[in-house]
Amino acid sequence: MTTYAIGDLQGCHAEFVALLERIDFDPRRDRLWLVGDLVNRGPASLDCLRELRALGNAAVAVLGNHDLHLLAVARGGARSNRKDTLAAILEAPDREVLLDWLQACPLLVRHGDAVMSHAGLLPQWSLAKAEGLAREVEARLASERVGAFLERMYGNTPPCWRDDLDGSDRLRVIVNAFTRMRFIDAEGCLDFTAKTGLDSAPPGFAPWFQFPRDDDPRVIFGHWAALSGATPGARIRAEALDTGCVWGGALTALNLDSGERVSVPSRRRDREHHG
């Protein structure tokens, strides 16, 4: 059995199918990890969700910010944005089945020393703490209060984690750290203004993977297309997999056992990087 981690799909279904063919993926023997942002901005988000759900236990995906946005639009009263490409899902006859599947996806997956989340792992959180905080959000997504949670999920405040946070503020910081994090300061406060390359770091901020940790997990993440799959200056074992397929880059799979990377080129020509 081989486990492959695959970068942000964002509705790039044709490239996803081509990549599975390139790695000779067989759901009867192999497993897939998807780093989140399965949907939005690309042309075939509905097909991506249907494909992943059909794979059953052969695939596990973590939630990204675009996936949570879809849930907020469908079930939390949020409005679609001008650049969203979610209408096909929202109008599909199987939308509720697909949304149920997506809503049940975790924020963090761990196997051995490997851990996957969409944006990475806040250095101030031990792996055990991060797992516990992810479960808090997952429990809310599975509860009858999910609508209220999705309504209050958006926002940039508070920017810093504190153990005494509670209610919506606590859940919002957890979601932001797992799905929106790029640059942080030495205290673990998140910056939400810079979304491009490392040279866009605000004063006093640096990429989260350039800060040391007390433990040594292998962190698999996506979210940051401008990195092009690299983690320069990393002080931890961090492996970036968003190679910007939806923006004209490539879709990348990482063999978690061998470390080999395989990519297929995007069929799009948009070179703008976004999260």
Q: How far is it, in rounded angstroms, from Cα 50 to Cα 59? A: 12
**With pLDDT > 70 as the criterion, what percentage of the chain qualifies?**
97
pLDDT tens, residue by residue, 216-275: 999 999 999 999 999 999 999 999 999 999 999 999 999 999 999 999 999 986 544 445
| pLDDT per position as a tens digit, 133-185 | 999 999 999 999 999 999 999 999 999 999 999 999 999 999 999 999 999 99
Query: How many CA within 13 A on the CB side of residue 57?
Result: 2
Q: What does pTM read for this prediction? A: 0.96
Q: Encode 133-171: b = buried (16+ Cβ within 10 Å), e = exposed.
A: bbeebbebbeeeeeeebbeebeeeeebebeeeeeeeebb
pLDDT at 112: 86
- Residues 233 and 218 sit within 8 Å (Cβ to Cβ): no
Inform me whether the pLDDT recorded for 29 exceeds 50: yes
Helix axes 127-141, 167-179, angle to 10 degrees: 110
Neighbours of 36 (CB within 10 A): 30
Secondary structure (DSSP) of 135-202: HHHHHHHTSTTHHHHHHH-----S-S--TT--HHHHHHHHHHHHHT--EE-TT-PEE-S--S-GGGPP
pLDDT-above-90 percentage for the chain: 96
Question: What pLDDT score does 268 carry?
Answer: 82
Domain ranges of the chain: 3-265
Q: Which fold has domain 3-265?
A: Purple Acid Phosphatase; chain A, domain 2 (3.60.21)
Q: Write phi, then psi, for 218 (nearest 5 degrees).
A: -95, 110
What mean pLDDT value characterizes the chain? 96
Show the tokens assigned to 148.
Answer: 């209220």
Which helix (H) or strand (E) is 133 found in, with range?
helix 127-141
| Residue-level pLDDT at 172 | 98
